[in-house]
Amino acid sequence: MKKPLRVTITGAAGQIGYALAFRIASGDMLGKDQPVILQLLEIPPAMDALKGVAMELEDCAFPLLHDIVTTDDANVGFKDTDFALLVGAKPRGPGMERKDLLKENGKIFGPQGKALNDHASRDVKVLVVGNPANTNALIAQANAPDLDPRNFTAMTRLDHNRALAQLAEKTGKHHTRIDGMIIWGNHSATQYPDIAHCSVDGKAAPELVDQGWYRDDFIPTVQQRGAAIIKARGASSAASAASAAIDHIRDWHLGSDGKWVSMAVPSDGSYGIKEGVIYSFPVTCKNGDYEIVQGLEIDAFSRERMTLTEEELREEREGVKELL
Ligand code: NDP
């Protein structure tokens, strides 16, 4: 039998954490032959709720679940961990500016980066879900100088999956028939869902849909999907966010079979996006690593949007520069 891998979830008693833990324990993320140890981290007021989550996990008698650790100490929660899913974050309070939110979350993600640096596996793969995810990932990365900076990523896979769903509905094809979807930039309203390189059943997507629909319907629908779900459900998306987090780590660990997926990763100058931000690019994953898809032609429409979302990330970076 394989050696168990350790998976840390922060904010594990929250909505997304609750959806994530059970799917990871059942083998959806790391494979149906891979035992796991769940290390669930929460803040002190949520420890009772977390105990309930752990009790339910025990009651599922998952064959792959070897142990459960519950803690409010990041040094314990990240000990020897192989995968860290940073979900817990401070929600935006009434009247709170984005800049204040960034600073408040810096107080969470800075110490978590340090705890990862001091206690996690040297190969730990980190996925930040808690918002503002890209900049939270940057703060964690900056506080973990001994770890590979490339292993700090943020989630745009839900945006990617939402874009697949919209294009599938419009073209009347199943989403598995779509290749080449891209989300560029920040996981925020400035994200740029790009279908210029997409094919549906082997046909170029831009030839299947009209530009008006793409610009005025598709792009805002993907960007605003989170708000539409809150309106319909009375609560923010949780199961779909957890599912996307599982897709992100599964593909990174087990490979994407040549398929492009979107991951927010440290920019390396690709497509003119200078270093210093965690920016969503199209990537392929193989052998536990990811690679940014290179050589795509970028037209003026795309360039404008890619720059806009980059500028927002640079402003966010500026707002937390003392934490980096
Ligand atoms: P959720 O589980 O619904 O959301 C958690 C985070 O994920 C939020 O920052 C949320 O951002 C973000 N998120 C990113 N993408 C999405 C998406 N597509 N849909 C919805 N959310 C998304 O929050 P809860 O309040 O239910 O739970 C948070 C938990 O975290 C609480 O139990 C709290 O105690 C805990 N916590 C733990 C910390 C720790 O472990 N140190 C620190 C802080 C909190 P947004 O707010 O923008 O929706």
Measured CA to CA in angstroms, residue 130 lies from 105, 133, 135 at distances of: 9, 5, 10
C-alpha of residue 188 to centroid of ligand 1, in Å: 15
Region 4-12: mean pLDDT is: 98
Tokens of 116: 């990862």
Q: Where are the beta strands (DSSP E) in 25-179?
A: 36-41, 65-71, 83-86, 125-128, 152-154, 178-179
| Residue 243 Rama label (left phi>0; alpha psi -120 to 50; beta) | alpha
| Interface confidence: ipTM more than 0.85 | yes
- Is the pLDDT at 32 greater than 80? The verdict is yes
User: Residue 189 and residue 192: Cα distance in Å, rounded?
Assistant: 8
Q: In what order do the strands lie in the sheet with 203-204?
A: 178-179, 199-200, 203-204
Q: Phi/psi of residue 38, each to 5°?
A: -95, 130
Say how many Å lie between the first and final Cα of the chain, rounded.
41
Q: How far is the CA of 15 from the centre of ligand 1 (A)?
A: 7
- Which ligand 1 atom is the nearest neighbour of the CA of 133? 14
Q: Give the residue whose CA is nearest to atom 3 of ligand 1.
A: 15
Give the residue, out of 90, 126, 131, 135, with the most ligand 1 atoms within 8 A of its beta carbon, to mutate for a pocket test. Answer: 131
With cut-offs at 50, 70 and 90, classify the pLDDT of residue 92. confident
**pTM (predicted TM-score):** 0.97
> What pLDDT is recorded for position 100?
85
Residues 184-241: tens digit of each pLDDT = 999 999 999 999 999 999 999 999 999 999 999 999 999 899 999 999 999 999 999 9
- Asked whether 252 and 264 are in contact (CB, 8 A), the reply is no
* 197 included as an active-site residue: no
Ligand 1 and 139: CB distance under 6 A = no
Question: Which tokens sit at 308?
Answer: 């806009």
Sort strands 289-292 and 278-286 into parallel, antiparallel or unpaired. Answer: antiparallel
- Say how many Å lie between the CA of residue 90 and the centre of ligand 1: 7
Average pLDDT rounded to a whole number, residues 95-101: 81
pLDDT digits (tens, 9 = 90+) for 139-191: 999 999 999 999 999 999 999 999 999 999 999 999 999 999 999 999 999 99
CB 30 within 8 A of CB 81: no
Can you say which residues are annotated as belonging to the binding site for substrate?
92, 98, 131, 162
